[in-house]
């Protein structure tokens, strides 16, 4: 399955959620081994807010994913913390109701590409929205 590594706007997010129930976001950024959102995540966060504002009944799971660098337990914890950071930002800064969001982490257990190359690992480091 090929994943696009590009910025997606609220309309594209909505289409993907309607078609497949999920959308991979590659515009959510964290420094290595950190769960603090970087400022360059702002455009994607704003598009998530637009998506949720346009769909007031929509509920989503925010799912964090990592590559295979590090131990499985560490990556699972990191992916959970990163997903929780996204939910925290959406609720605290943008006022999205917490009842509309859940955070989960999959660690390295749901790759979309091979972890044998840097390109593949970059595709695996992502946040997904999954329709709830």
pLDDT digits (tens, 9 = 90+) for 40-90: 999 999 999 999 999 999 999 999 999 999 999 999 999 999 999 999 999
Confidence class for position 6, pLDDT limits 50, 70, 90: low
Answer whether 82's CB lies under 8 Å from 93's CB.
no
Q: Are 54 and 10 in contact (CB under 8 A)?
A: yes
Q: What percent of the chain is modeled with pLDDT above 90? A: 95
Domains of the chain with bracketed CATH:
10-131 (3.30.1330.60)
pLDDT at 7: 79
Torsion on CA atoms 76, 79, 81, 86, rounded to nearest 10:
-160
- Which residues, in sequence order, are CB contacts of 83 under 8 Å at separation 6+? 62, 63, 64, 103, 104, 105, 127
- pLDDT exceeding 70 applies to what percent of the chain? 95
Residue 112 has pLDDT above 70, yes or no: yes
Question: What distance in Å separates the CA atoms of residue 22 and residue 60, rounded to the nearest whole number?
Answer: 9
Q: Give 1's pLDDT tier (boundaries 50, 70, 90).
A: very low
5 vs 34, 72, 94, CA distance in Å?
A: 21, 24, 25
* Average pLDDT of span 112-123: 97
């Amino acid at each position: 399955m090929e994943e696009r590594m590009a910025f997606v706007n609220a309309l594209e997010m909505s289409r993907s959620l309607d078609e497949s129930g999920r959308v991979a976001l590659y515009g959510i950024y964290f420094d290595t081994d950190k769960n603090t959102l970087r400022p360059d995540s702002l455009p994607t966060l704003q598009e998530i807010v637009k998506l949720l504002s346009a769909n007031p009944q929509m509920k989503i799971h925010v799912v964090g994913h990592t590559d295979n660098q590090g131990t499985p337990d560490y990556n699972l914890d990191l992916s959970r913390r990163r997903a929780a950071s996204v939910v925290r930002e959406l609720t605290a800064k943008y006022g999205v109701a917490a009842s509309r969001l859940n955070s989960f982490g999959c660690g390295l257990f749901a790759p979309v590409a091979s972890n044998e190359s840097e390109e593949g690992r970059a595709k695996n480091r992502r946040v997904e929205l999954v329709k709830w």
